[in-house]
Amino acid sequence: MYFKKPAALAAALSLGIFPLATTTSIAQDTIAVVQTLSGTASWYGGKFHGRKTANGETYNMHAMTAAHRYLPFGTEVVVTNQNTGEAVVVRINDRGPFTGGRIIDLSQAAASEIGMINSGTARVTVEVIG
């Protein structure tokens, strides 16, 4: 499912009709990118499942979420694995990562979508879309 207008993407996300769990290919020319970051991503899962995130939500390792040091809670980003080209849309709901040299911590589900579970980390591009 591709959206040519950011408003259509935002509406689909707010209605819950955007297939986040199955999105592995994002058309780069269909979304307005506000900011782009590159670096190393990591992921976190079972140990934190059910605990509170920094924004007060309960962490769900099966949700398409991520932790970032400074992006506002609720910010949506496209994370693309630079090795595989696979991409996923996630929502920032936590703070981290707290290991040097990493720019984003993905939920286990998001990490799985872009093929980085086994490696634990991956070089990624993070594009802020909303």
- Which residues span the domain enclosing 19? 6-128
pTM of structure: 0.76
Query: pLDDT at residue 128 above 90?
Result: yes
Q: Which residues pair with 124 in a beta bridge?
A: 39, 81
Indicate whether 1 belongs to any domain.
no
CA pair distance 112, 6, nearest whole angstrom = 26
Q: At a CB cut-off of 8 Å and minimum separation 6, what does 33 contact?
A: 78, 127, 128, 129
Q: Mean pLDDT throughout 12-19?
A: 44
The letter for the amino acid at 102 is: R
Indicate whether 123 belongs to any domain.
yes
For 88-111, write each residue's pLDDT tens digit.
999 999 999 999 899 999 999 999
CA pair distance 17, 65, nearest whole angstrom = 16
Q: At a CB cut-off of 8 Å and minimum separation 6, what does 112 contact?
A: none
pLDDT at 29: 56
**Pairing mode, strands 87-94 and 65-67:** parallel
Query: pLDDT at residue 8 above 50?
Result: no
Measure the CA angle with vertex 64, ends 71 and 111; round to 5°.
95
Query: pLDDT at residue 119 above 90?
Result: yes
- Tell which wins on pLDDT, 112 or 45: 112
For 23-56, write each residue's pLDDT tens digit.
444 555 566 888 999 999 999 988 999 999 999 9
Indicate whether 39 belongs to any domain.
yes
State the DSSP code for 52: B
For residue 78, the domain's CATH number is: 2.40.40.10
Query: pLDDT at residue 9 above 60?
Result: no
Domain count, the chain: 1
Indicate whether 62 belongs to any domain.
yes
